[in-house]
């Protein structure tokens, strides 16, 4: 079965085609340059840019192919961008004579991993993106139990805000990832917020500690200090994410850990997860960076499970997904 996936939840206009777990095309048009000067995504500009680019992106993903279904994200995401994606998907489905399937964007981040190999259930999955940090137990596609999530900033949001504090542009994740490679992760001792007794996360404290550190410095940090701060901040975030996720995997005795979302593109996070997994004998699946950040093929793959379960009609009758957060609903 061939499925076209259309992604427009935030600042990536993307589309791709998947056939039985194989990627046939994957087109991503990033709006980063458009939003950079505002140090963040401007929803109205994003919606307009999606509208300008969507037809071309979908056409180049299709390359004249016929597909059996069109998937789109019904949330979570920005209202205008979501509507552009939904309208594009409905139009494409109508003209191709196939059903449109609404999927949860976060569920897409989980199934990006399946494009790299079969998933083994039950699994624990950590979704770390610009808006979410969710830890879930998944017994089968569509069967999720939310174990914990961030109580304040998402991991990606903390990266973006800290990069901004350091005057280092948007999006902050890739910038900090790069700068941290030259820094000492032990230079500044940021706390690891473990929130014992829960599977929740909290990153606002690390972010505030960074703010106070910079304020107390009373001058602009040197290049060396910026590298050290990035490495120390990153180590605190990564250690928290890895420790809690591995602890959940051991507690629930799962067969695999799956990590997804933009922050899963982070070099140090990937390295720390593979070290921890090896140490504890846990199988881990993290897609390559290009499939961690937003894309259309992850939605197509998530939709393949919905189609198999016959959930297409119900999905389409649902609300377009503004603020949609229900896992597997």
Tell me how crowded residue 252 is: count the other CB atoms within 10 A of its CB: 14
The least CB distance from residue 276 to ligand KG4, in Å, is 18
Residue 171 or 193 having the CB closest to Zn ion:
171
Residue 12 or 235 having the CB closest to Zn ion:
12
Residue 226 or 297 having the CB closest to Zn ion:
297
Query: Between residue 172 and residue 211, which ones bind Zn ion under the rule CB under 5 A?
Result: none
Residue 304 interacts with which of ligand KG4, Zn ion, none, CB < 5 to 8 Å by class: none
Query: DSSP per residue over 262-299, as a string?
Result: GGGG-HHHHHHHHHHHHHHT-EEE---HHHHSS-SHHH
Residue 160 interacts with which of ligand KG4, Zn ion, none, CB < 5 to 8 Å by class: ligand KG4
Taking each helix axis as running N to C, give the angle between helix 267-280 and helix 223-251, from 0 to 180 degrees, rounded to the nearest 10: 40
Strand locations in 65-142, DSSP E? 69-75, 100-104, 123-128, 133-140
Strand arrangement, sheet containing 133-140: 143-149, 133-140, 123-128, 256-260, 283-285
Residue 265 interacts with which of Zn ion, ligand KG4, none, CB < 5 to 8 Å by class: ligand KG4
Residue 116 or 250 having the CB closest to ligand KG4:
116
The least CB distance from residue 230 to ligand KG4, in Å, is 11
The least CB distance from residue 93 to Zn ion, in Å, is 22
The least CB distance from residue 197 to Zn ion, in Å, is 29
Q: Which structure tokens are listed for 40?
A: 């963040």
User: Is residue 145 within 8 Å of residue 279, measured between CB atoms?
Assistant: no
Burial class (CB in 10 A: 0-12, 13-18, 19+), 94: exposed
Q: Given 3-state DSSP classes, what are the helix, strand and coil percentages for the chain, each rounded to the nearest 5?
A: 50, 20, 30
What is d(CA 216, CA 209) in angstroms, rounded to the nearest whole number?
A: 10
**Beta-sheet pairing, 100-104 with 123-128:** unpaired
Given 257, 294, 296, 302, the residue binding Zn ion (CB under 5 A): 294
Residue 141 or 287 having the CB closest to ligand KG4:
287
Backbone angles phi, psi at 238, to 5 degrees: -65, -45
Question: Site residues (CB under 6 A) for ligand KG4?
Answer: 10, 129-131, 156, 159-160, 171-174, 177, 261-263, 265-266, 293-294
The least CB distance from residue 144 to ligand KG4, in Å, is 17
Residue 104 or 129 having the CB closest to Zn ion:
129
The least CB distance from residue 23 to ligand KG4, in Å, is 17
Inter-CA distances, 273 with 14, 143, 170, 243, 317, Å = 28, 24, 25, 9, 39
Backbone angles phi, psi at 209, to 5 degrees: -60, -40
Residue 131 interacts with which of ligand KG4, Zn ion, none, CB < 5 to 8 Å by class: ligand KG4
The least CB distance from residue 209 to Zn ion, in Å, is 27
Residue 73 or 147 having the CB closest to Zn ion:
73
Of the listed pieces 11-19, 180-188, 202-210, 291-299, which binds Zn ion according to CB under 5 A?
291-299
Residue 171 interacts with which of ligand KG4, Zn ion, none, CB < 5 to 8 Å by class: ligand KG4
The least CB distance from residue 264 to Zn ion, in Å, is 10
Given 129, 232, 234, 301, the residue binding Zn ion (CB under 5 A): 129
What is d(CA 297, CA 71) in angstroms, rounded to the nearest whole number?
A: 9
Q: Which structure tokens are listed for 307?
A: 């189609």
Which stretches of the chain bind Zn ion, using CB under 5 A? 129, 294
């Amino acid at each position: 079965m061939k499925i076209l996936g259309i992604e427009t939840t935030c600042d990536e206009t993307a589309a791709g085609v998947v056939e039985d777990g194989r990627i046939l095309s994957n087109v991503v048009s990033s709006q980063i340059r458009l939003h950079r000067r505002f140090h963040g995504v401007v929803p109205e500009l994003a919606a307009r840019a999606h509208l300008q680019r969507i037809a071309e992106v979908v056409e180049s993903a299709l390359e004249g192919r016929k597909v059996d279904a069109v998937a789109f994200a019904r949330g979570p995401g920005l209202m205008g961008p979501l509507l552009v994606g939904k309208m594009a998907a409905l139009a494409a489905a109508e003209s191709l004579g196939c059903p449109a399937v609404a999927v949860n964007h976060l569920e897409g981040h989980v199934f990006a991993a399946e494009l790299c190999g079969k998933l083994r259930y039950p699994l624990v999955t950590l979704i770390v993106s610009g808006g979410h940090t969710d830890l879930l137990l998944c017994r089968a596609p569509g069967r999720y139990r939310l174990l914990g999530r961030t109580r304040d900033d998402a991991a990606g949001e903390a990266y973006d805000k800290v990069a901004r504090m350091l005057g280092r542009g948007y999006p902050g994740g890739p910038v900090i990832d790069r700068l941290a490679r030259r820094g000492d992760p032990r230079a500044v001792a940021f706390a690891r917020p473990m929130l014992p007794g829960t599977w929740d996360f909290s990153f606002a404290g690390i972010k505030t500690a960074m703010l106070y550190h910079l304020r107390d410095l009373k001058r602009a940090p040197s290049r060396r200090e910026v590298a050290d701060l990035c490495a120390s901040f990153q180590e605190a975030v990564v250690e928290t994410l890895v420790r809690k996720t591995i602890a959940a995997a051991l507690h629930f005795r799962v067969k695999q850990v799956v990590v997804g979302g933009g922050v899963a593109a982070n070099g140090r996070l990937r390295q720390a997860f593979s070290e921890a997994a090896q140490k504890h004998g846990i199988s881990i699946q993290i897609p390559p960076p290009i499939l961690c950040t937003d894309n259309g093929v992850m939605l197509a793959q998530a939709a393949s499970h919905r189609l198999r379960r016959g959930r297409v009609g119900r999905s389409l009758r649902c609300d377009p997904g503004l603020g949609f957060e229900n896992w597997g609903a």
